[in-house]
Amino acid sequence: MVREYPLTRARPAEKLAAALGVAFKNPPLLQQALYHRSYLNESGEDLESNERMEFLGDAVLGIIVSDKLYRDYPTLSEGHLSQLRALLVRWDALAGVAQRIGLGDYLVLGKGEELSGGRNRPSNLAAGLEAIIGAAFLDGGLARARTLVLKLLKPEFEEIAARGITADSKSELQHVAQTRWHEIPEYRLVSSEGPDHAKLFTVEVAVGRQVMGQGQGRNKKQAELNAARQALETLAATG
Q: Which residues are part of the catalytic machinery?
A: 58, 130
- 3 state DSSP class of 200: strand
CB 188 within 8 A of CB 134: no
Q: Say if CB 115 and CB 21 are below 8 A apart.
A: no
Query: Nearest CA to 207 among 171, 174, 239?
Result: 174
One-letter amino acid for residue 198 of the chain: A
Using DSSP's 3-state secondary structure scheme, residue 186 falls into strand
Sequence-distant (≥ 6) Cβ neighbours of residue 32 within 8 angstroms: 2, 5, 47, 48, 49, 50, 53, 131, 135
Name the DSSP class of 218.
Answer: S
Reduce the DSSP state of residue 25 to 3 states and report it: coil
Helix (H, G, I), strand (E, B) or coil at 47: coil
